[in-house]
Amino acid sequence: MKKFKIILPILVAILFLGSCTIYKTSVPQSGVHTQINVNLNDMQYLKEVTGTAVQSYVVGIAYGGEKHKKAAVSNVSGSLIGVNLNNRGYNNALYNALQKLPDADFIMPINMQVKSDRLFLGRQDSIIVRVKAFKLKAQ
């Protein structure tokens, strides 16, 4: 009975910690064998938008922020353009920019600004991502 009193709270804690909601926004990418020839005449420029995020780190470990939102922009080979995939702050800022243009078919990242405030045993990054959004014209 004593073991049951110890195991039950641990199982309940694991059950609560395993429950979460994940939001994802992404720009789909084609397989290696697909080629689409698109030029600027085939696209309609929508507008330029910015996405912002604030991410905190303690001893190099990210905490806080919006940890279940992920967005990535890929180049032709499928690798991320100049950004580490594990950069939660960049992913949050890009996700927030994509949310402002749900009808965009193609986005082009223009720049990213990061302001880092050094804190005791950590830092806080304020990230601003600027992207240009395009939509494919109907043929």
Q: Is residue 77 part of a domain?
A: yes
At residue 57's C-alpha, the angle toward residues 54 and 62, to 5°, is 85
> Does residue 84 lie in a domain region?
yes
Q: Residue 109: pLDDT above 70? A: yes
CB 73 within 8 A of CB 109: yes
115: helix, coil or strand? strand
- In a domain, residue 8? The reply is no
User: Does 2 fall in a domain?
Assistant: no
Contact, 54 vs 125, CB < 8 A? yes
Structural domain count, the chain: 1
The pLDDT score that the predictor gives to residue 50 is 92
| Residue 105: C-alpha distances to residues 33, 79, 86 (Å) | 20, 19, 24
Residue 64: φ, ψ to 5°: 70, -165
Identify whether 14 is part of a domain: no
Name, in order, each residue with C-beta under 8 angstroms of 72's C-beta and a sequence gap of 6 or more: 26, 27, 80, 85, 91, 94
Q: What is the pLDDT of residue 87?
A: 74
What residues make up the domain containing 59? 23-136
Lowest-pLDDT range of 11-15, 49-53, 78-82, 132-136: 78-82
In this prediction, residues 37-43 reach a mean pLDDT of: 82
pLDDT digits (tens, 9 = 90+) for 44-101: 999 999 989 888 888 877 777 776 666 655 544 444 445 554 577 888 888 888 889 8
Residue 15 inside a domain? The answer is no
Angle at 114 between CA 109 and CA 65, to 5 degrees: 95
Whole-structure pTM over 0.75, yes or no?
no
